[in-house]
């Protein structure tokens, strides 16, 4: 389906492609008048292109399944929104103008779409190469929208996965995305084998004990019962984290007395 949608996009003329690329970047639902405004004020494309945002184009893009329409307006198909973001990055002048406008845009953001607004900002930061800003907003999203059944890592990285592009990102960002996606599905037991295998390969680049990536790596191995070689990583016996995980490891090994001992040591460390 993704391949067909990308072919449908390629069949558009340059003006129509600019409009769809703008929708991919905006990410949030946007009404026709508002979309025309963004295209015009950002100067990312011509006035004549902005004027194409009307019912005939909407019907064409719907037929090609490149957009969906909601009560709030048009949205780019989520199946190819990340692929189109990467196309947009390749059109440097277009991408710079539209993202600069969006980052400086002011106006009321309703709570019902505020999470999409933050995802929009995160995606712009990511594709501008501002990985530290992305990670900061990523953690902000998780703290603000805990009740939302939304995985940013799923939306941005794995619904439309490009392994070559992903491998070019920084280590901390890759591990954060991989671990967040898997943690979201620990309880519902959704299959995450592909992400798990990529995480294991990624971890070998920097096996730094005590890092956030290290903690997530250990926990996910324990959750899956994949414990071969795990004990060799858990060497800091003064760490409450290590003692707790050694307790969990011994429990999985059916060594219950040792498990209890490790958990009791962990409690003492945390109380000290």
For the chain, give every domain's residue range.
Answer: 1-106, 108-211, 227-272
- The pair of structure tokens assigned to 44 is 């990312």
Alpha-carbon torsion angle 157, 159, 165, 169, nearest 10: 10
**CATH for 1-106, among 1.25.40, 1.10.10, 1.10.3470, 1.10.860?**
1.10.10
The reported pTM is 0.86
* β-bridge mates for residue 109, sequence order: none
CA distance to 155, 183, 184, 193, 224, per residue, from 189 (Å): 19, 10, 9, 11, 10
Backbone angles phi, psi at 69, to 5 degrees: -120, 130
DSSP per residue over 173-232, as a string?
HHHHHHHHHHHHTTTTT---HHHHHHHHHHHTT---TTSHHHHHHHHHHHHHT--TTTGG
Residue 258 has a CB neighbour count (10 Å cut-off) of 14
In tens digits, the chain (272 residues) has pLDDT values of 889 999 999 999 999 999 999 999 999 999 999 999 999 999 999 999 999 999 999 999 999 999 999 988 999 999 999 999 999 999 999 999 999 999 999 888 888 888 899 999 999 999 999 999 999 999 889 888 876 667 788 889 998 889 999 999 999 999 999 998 898 877 666 778 889 999 999 999 887 776 889 999 999 999 999 999 999 999 877 789 999 999 999 999 999 999 999 999 999 998 88
């Amino acid at each position: 389906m993704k391949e067909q949608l990308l072919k449908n996009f390629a069949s558009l003329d340059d003006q129509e492609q600019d409009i769809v690329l703008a929708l991919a970047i905006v990410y949030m639902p946007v009404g026709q008048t508002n979309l025309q405004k963004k295209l015009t004020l950002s100067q990312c494309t011509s006035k004549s292109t902005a004027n194409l945002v009307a019912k005939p184009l909407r019907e064409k893009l719907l037929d090609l399944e490149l957009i969906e329409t909601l009560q709030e307006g048009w949205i780019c198909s989520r199946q190819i929104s990340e692929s189109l973001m990467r196309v947009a990055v390749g059109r440097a002048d277009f991408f710079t103008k539209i993202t600069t406008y969006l980052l400086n845009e002011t106006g009321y953001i309703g709570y019902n779409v505020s999470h999409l607004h933050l995802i929009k900002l995160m995606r712009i930061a990511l594709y501008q190469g501002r990985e530290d800003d992305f990670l900061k907003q990523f953690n902000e999203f998780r703290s603000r929208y805990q009740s939302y059944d939304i995985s940013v890592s799923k939306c941005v990285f794995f619904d439309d996965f490009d392994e070559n592009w992903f491998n070019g990102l920084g280590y901390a960002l890759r591990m954060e995305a991989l671990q967040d996606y898997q943690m979201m599905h620990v309880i519902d037991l959704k299959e995450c084998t592909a992400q798990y295998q990529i995480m294991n390969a990624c971890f070998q680049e920097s096996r730094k004990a005590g890092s956030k990536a290290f903690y997530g790596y250990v926990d996910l191995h324990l959750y899956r019962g994949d414990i071969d070689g795990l004990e060799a990583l858990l060497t800091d016996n003064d760490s409450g984290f290590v003692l707790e995980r050694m307790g969990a490891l011994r429990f999985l090994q059916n060594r219950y007395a040792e498990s209890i001992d490790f958990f009791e040591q962990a409690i003492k460390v945390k109380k000290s």
